[in-house]
Amino acid sequence: MSLRTPLGEVRGLGSAKEGTQHFWQQRLTAVALVPLVIWFLINVIGLIGADYATASAALGSPMVAIPTLLLIGAGFYHMKLGLQVVIEDYVSNEGSKIALLMLNTFFAAAVGLACVYAVLKLSFAG
């Protein structure tokens, strides 16, 4: 007995075997972001009123830089996954959909790498 609909059997379409992985990646990054964002906000709020040298030294220390890099990685990957779902659900034209999915990936990578560069520059700047 098949669980496919009659139309699915005629077309030969089945599960893409990717939806569950995407779902779990999105949930995992969301769970990882909760403590990272709270930690980051506490650190940044503690720097209110500090001069540039103090803030730069604090943000450049390994105990701050490493979790910040984790926050950047998880945040931009979560953003990419979320926008991918929106594009796949609401853009009907296949050409536009492919172009937007590519732009989504390039944007997340470019801005994420710029953030990583900024943190690494603070960390290794003497």
Quote the domain boundaries for residue 75.
20-124
Total domains in the chain come to: 1
- The CATH number for 41's domain is 1.20.1300.10
User: What per-residue confidence (pLDDT) applies to 10?
Assistant: 60
User: What per-residue confidence (pLDDT) applies to 17?
Assistant: 58
- Residue 53 domain-assigned (yes or no): yes
State whether the Cα torsion 6-19-97-90 is positive or negative: positive
CB-CB neighbours of 88 under 10 Å: 12
| For residue 9, pLDDT beyond 70 | no
Any idea what DSSP says for residue 22? H
| Higher local confidence (pLDDT), 10 or 77 | 77
- Residue 66 domain-assigned (yes or no): yes
- Residue 14 domain-assigned (yes or no): no
- Residue 10 domain-assigned (yes or no): no
| Per-residue tokens: 53 | 């040298």
- Residue 89 domain-assigned (yes or no): yes
- Residue 31 domain-assigned (yes or no): yes
Which residue bears the tokens 């172009």?
99
User: What's the angle, vertex CA 10, arms to CA 9 and CA 13, rounded to 5?
Assistant: 55
Q: What is the pTM of this model?
A: 0.82
User: What per-residue confidence (pLDDT) applies to 12?
Assistant: 55
Nearest alpha carbon to residue 105 among 75, 90, 84: 84
- Residue 108 domain-assigned (yes or no): yes
